[in-house]
Amino acid sequence: MSFPSHVRLVEVGPRDGLQNEKQPISVAQKVALINALSASGLSYIEAGSFVSPKWVPQMAGSAEVFQKIQRAEDITYAALTPNMQGFEAAIAAGVKEVAVFGAASESFSQKNINCSISDSLKRFEALLETAQQHGVRVRGYVSCVLGCPYEGEIAPEQVRSVAQALYDMGCYEISLGDTIGVGTPHKAAALFATVGRDIPRSQLAGHFHDTYGQALANIYACLSEGIAVFDSSVAGLGGCPYAKGASGNVATEDVLYMLNGLGIDTGVKLEKIIAAGLNISAVLGRETGSRVARAWHASAH
């Protein structure tokens, strides 16, 4: 299969990127990050999550964040919602698109959302029915698709079955998450080929954490399988609090640099993402996790 000519980047920095940060990040700082990302040409920004503040304290201000961001007409600002309570809170905050998040690993499902895979699917089904009544689109995540911090290897068939269930209940796109970044390119491509047997590839997305430095190689392998949507996080921020060792998501800057080099259009301006990444890294008091941003910064100064 030939490479896609256009790729859609899903920016998960304000949510996946920040959710694991221990230090307080103010609503104003989150809003500034989202507004900066909005000016870069991105079409999709995951701006927060409506989860229990006891489980993920950093996302507690998401309603305020959604109320304060400057929304551009052509950008989707989405939020994670694990259950009906989260969905209702999201709608009240003016959220127009949500994402549910399941897992291919039973243990991870328990640790992350405190229920079994099958119970989570029942919750999501009810949520999707309500979302359809509100005209709200729902994206679906499957976590631990290439390995689980508690169970190790995960069978591709298990990923396929959870992805299929989410697709059948109405998720318009399924993002397959390598939560702990253990995947390698052939395994990633084979997984997408398996899941892509019954779900159109245009409705699949790749979500790669870069823990083992494999994320760009995995994305390249998925591009060759015809996958054209990838999640990434500005400055390579990120990690899931319930997956030890899940370091940053692949950096948006690095994905963009690779796609630009491959001649694949994204509509996103690299310099704007680099600037947004350097700003949030300064807020966090550490160096950006993007190698492209580091190289750009070193050569520009």
Binding stretches for ligand HMG (CB under 6 A): 16, 19, 49-52, 55-56, 80, 82-83, 85-86, 89, 101, 112-114, 141, 143, 177, 179, 207, 209, 240, 242
| CB of residue 209 to ligand HMG, shortest distance in Å | 6
Q: Are 215 and 208 in contact (CB under 8 A)?
A: yes
DSSP type of residue 13: I
Residue nearest to ligand HMG (CB): 177
Could you say which of 148, 171, 222, 240 is catalytic? Answer: 240
Is the CB of 52 or the CB of 279 nearer to ligand HMG?
52
Binding site for Mg ion (CB under 5 A): 16
Name the binder of 101 from ligand HMG, Mg ion, none, CB < 5-8 A by kind. ligand HMG
Is the CB of 124 or the CB of 242 nearer to ligand HMG?
242
Contacts 24+ apart (CB under 8 A), 240-243: 240/16, 240/19, 240/20, 240/112, 240/143, 240/179, 241/19, 241/20, 241/55, 241/56, 242/108, 242/111, 242/112, 243/108, 243/112, 243/143, 243/144, 243/149, 243/179, 243/180
The answer to whether 240 is a known catalytic residue is: yes
- Cα–Cα nearest to 30, from 288, 280, 293, 281: 280
CA distance 201 to 192: 8
| CB of residue 299 to ligand HMG, shortest distance in Å | 32
**Residue 269 tokens, joined:** 């301006």
Name the binder of 85 from ligand HMG, Mg ion, none, CB < 5-8 A by kind. ligand HMG
| CB of residue 70 to Mg ion, shortest distance in Å | 26
CA distance 90 to 105: 27
Is the CB of 10 or the CB of 256 nearer to Mg ion?
10
| CB of residue 16 to ligand HMG, shortest distance in Å | 5
**Residue 144 tokens, joined:** 């631990």
Is the CB of 16 or the CB of 253 nearer to Mg ion?
16
135's CB contacts (< 8 A; 6+ apart) are: none
Name the binder of 114 from Mg ion, ligand HMG, none, CB < 5-8 A by kind. ligand HMG
DSSP type of residue 41: T
Is the CB of 250 or the CB of 259 nearer to ligand HMG?
250
| CB of residue 2 to ligand HMG, shortest distance in Å | 28
Catalytic residues: 240
